């Protein structure tokens, strides 16, 4: 049966539900992809199929350039020493 011929007033409802359903499905798939990419390639590590991390690091030329562009950004700062309370 053709919805446009049998119930033309339902066509906008059908199309709206179809579009919303399709958009929701695509959004969920994008979030799943984002989660898997972030989890797998987090901070210079790559996880294998079993979830074990393996350090890959960063390409040396890129890392040198980042250090030049952001001097001091990656320096580990010491915590200030607290005076002992009495």
Alpha-helical segments (H) within the chain? 3-6, 11-40, 60-69
Q: Is the pTM for the entire model greater than 0.95?
A: no
Say if residue 67's pLDDT is above 80: yes
pLDDT of 34: 94
pLDDT of res. 29: 97
Domain boundaries, the chain: 8-69
Q: What are phi and psi of 22, to 5 degrees?
A: -65, -45
Give the angle 4-27-42 at the CA atoms, nearest 5°: 165
Rounded mean pLDDT of 61-79?
86
Q: What dihedral angle (degrees, nearest 10) is formed by the CA atoms of 33, 38, 39, 44? A: 140
pLDDT digits 0-9 by tens, 6-54: 999 999 999 999 999 999 999 999 999 999 888 888 777 888 888 888 8
Tell me what pLDDT residue 86 has.
Answer: 61
Q: Which residue has the higher pLDDT, 14 or 76?
A: 14
Q: What is the C-alpha separation between 81 and 77, in angstroms, rounded?
A: 12
């Amino acid at each position: 049966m053709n919805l446009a011929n049998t119930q033309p007033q339902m066509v906008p409802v059908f199309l709206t539900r179809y579009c919303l359903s399709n958009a929701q499905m695509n959004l969920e798939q994008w979030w799943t992809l984002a989660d898997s990419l972030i989890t797998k390639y987090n901070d210079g590590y790559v996880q294998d199929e079993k979830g074990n991390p393996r350090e890959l690091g960063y390409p040396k030329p890129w890392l040198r350039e980042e250090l030049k562009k952001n001097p001091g950004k990656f320096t580990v700062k010491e915590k200030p020493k607290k005076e002992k309370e009495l």
